[in-house]
């Protein structure tokens, strides 16, 4: 079973579905897959029967994305499921990011690889804490193109009301403006994923709406420029030891081109090795470009020499990193801090594939409600601040002016995202 548009030579994009846990992300993806012919109706029917037996009637679509048994029993999305999806213009990989807040960690690694995002907001609920968190994360983690699915328009009490749609759009626009998106170019689509209205098929229940369907909006996102002429930067997601082949690091190329036969340097591990071969989608290739997910075999390194969180680049322009006795300056936006924080605070930073505990060494300048204060004593929710940071162990990160792709980070503490930021300057010793 494939889609009528299936063609792997098309431009490839990663798209992520985000939003609150109950706002219908998996159902939306399931509906898209079904109505575009990516999956067959009997598959959904089988899942629906299974769902009904567990007392979760109506969850059939969601099951398409939630492959794991544990997830079915709990009825929530845990891991990031990858699905292929074709439109007339593009070949997409769908990243279904978990909405549940324990799983935002996965979303950070998932979303940082996304070119476009669909933010799901239920028409009956509107914006809530998770909607906010996901919108901020999408922005900080470099998602350029956003589409808003105003879902559950069919639900009792909403009943396809144009007024309700308008008030949700107004609320979401305010949030997106706060998060730094320009909301003028963002489509807001009134949908019912469970019924299929305006997802792939145009609905007759929204005569007041003349914009695109969700599918049309996804098909018309702009292709981000591929930074091919920049130096190579390849964050490592995993390192495998494969019998008969050897050590195989895996990751997605952010910038530059990976070529077989060249020597790469892994930082902060400070190891280098020749690239023997490159594999993509189970095919050996001579070279790979930004956006490509690759596995590559390196000569003479053991699987313990390098690790997740390393970044690979060529030896003539190695990836930059901050040693544990060095600092970097970052600009952060606080989203949700339970209490005031000051110098000495040491949460976990998630930057590309790395997770490192980082200390707030010095607060340099905060902006609070438009007012700037030099060397503040503390920060609270909503503040923005320029901070000197000291990683507790070596950490690969780049300056925003040189490699914006690898300058972004999310800050997590106590099981949630408390801030997001960008590295402005690395202070080498």
Lowest-pLDDT choice from 59-63, 166-170, 282-286 = 59-63
Q: Closest Cα partner for 183 from 191, 175, 192?
A: 175
Highest mean pLDDT among 104-108, 236-240, 406-410: 236-240
| 400: Cβ contacts below 8 Å, ≥ 6 apart | 407, 408, 422, 423, 424
Whether residue 83 contacts residue 94, with contact meaning beta carbons closer than 8 Å, is answered with yes
Strand pairing class (246-252; 293-298): antiparallel
Structural domains in the chain plus CATH codes: 11-219 (3.40.50.300), 234-314 (2.40.30.10), 321-427 (2.40.30.10)
Q: How many CA atoms lie within 13 A of 270 on its CB side?
A: 5
Give yes or no for residue 315 having a pLDDT over 50.
Answer: yes
What is the DSSP annotation of 384-401?
EEEEEEEESS-EE---TT
The pLDDT, as a whole number, for residue 122 is 95
Q: What is the pLDDT of residues 263-286, one digit of tens each?
A: 999 999 999 999 999 998 788 999
Q: Whole-model pTM?
A: 0.69
Burial classification of residue 67, based on how many CB atoms lie within 10 Å of its CB (0-12 exposed, 13-18 middle, 19 or more buried): exposed
Whether residue 292 contacts residue 255, with contact meaning beta carbons closer than 8 Å, is answered with no
């Amino acid at each position: 079973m494939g889609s009528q548009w299936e063609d792997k030579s098309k431009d490839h994009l990663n798209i992520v579905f985000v939003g609150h846990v109950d706002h219908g992300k998996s159902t939306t993806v399931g509906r898209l897959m079904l109505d575009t012919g990516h999956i067959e109706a009997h598959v959904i029917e089988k899942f629906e029967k299974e769902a009904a037996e567990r007392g979760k009637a109506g969850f059939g679509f969601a099951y398409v994305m939630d492959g794991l048994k544990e997830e079915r029993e709990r009825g929530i999305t845990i891991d990031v499921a990858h699905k292929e999806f074709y439109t007339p213009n593009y070949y997409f990989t769908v990243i279904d990011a978990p909405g549940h807040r324990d799983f935002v960690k996965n979303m950070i690694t998932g979303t940082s690889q996304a070119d476009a995002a669909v933010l799901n907001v239920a028409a009956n609920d509107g914006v809530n804490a998770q909607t906010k968190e996901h919108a901020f994360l999408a922005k900080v983690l470099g998602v350029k193109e956003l589409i808003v699915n105003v879902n559950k328009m069919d639900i009792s009490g909403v009943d396809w009301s144009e007024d309700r749609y308008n008030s949700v759009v107004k609320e979401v626009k305010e949030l997106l403006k706060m998060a730094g998106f320009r909301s003028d170019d963002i489509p807001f689509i009134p949908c019912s994923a469970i019924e299929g209205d305006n997802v792939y098929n145009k609905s007759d229940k929204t005569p007041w709406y003349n914009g695109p369907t969700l599918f049309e909006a996804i098909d018309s996102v702009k292709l981000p420029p591929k930074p091919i002429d920049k130096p190579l930067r390849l964050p490592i997601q995993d390192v495998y030891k494969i019998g008969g082949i050897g050590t195989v690091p895996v990751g997605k190329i952010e910038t530059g081109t990976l070529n077989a036969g060249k020597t790469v340097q892994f930082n902060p591990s400070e190891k280098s090795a020749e690239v023997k071969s490159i594999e993509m989608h189970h095919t050996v290739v001579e070279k790979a470009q930004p956006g490509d997910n690759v596995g590559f075999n390196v000569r003479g390194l053991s699987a313990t020499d390098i690790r997740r969180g390393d970044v690979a680049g060529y030896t003539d322009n190695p990836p930059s990193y901050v040693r544990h006795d060095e600092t970097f300056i970052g600009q952060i936006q606080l989203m949700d801090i339970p209490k005031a924080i000051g110098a000495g605070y040491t949460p976990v930073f998630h930057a590309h594939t790395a997770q490192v505990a980082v200390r707030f060494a010095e607060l340099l300048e905060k902006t609070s409600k438009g007012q700037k204060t030099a060397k503040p004593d503390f920060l609270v929710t909503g503040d923005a601040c320029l901070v000197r940071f000291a990683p507790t162990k070596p950490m690969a990160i780049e300056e925003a002016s040189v490699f914006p792709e690898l300058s972004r980070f999310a800050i997590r503490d106590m099981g949630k995202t408390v801030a997001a930021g960008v590295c402005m300057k690395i202070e080498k010793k």
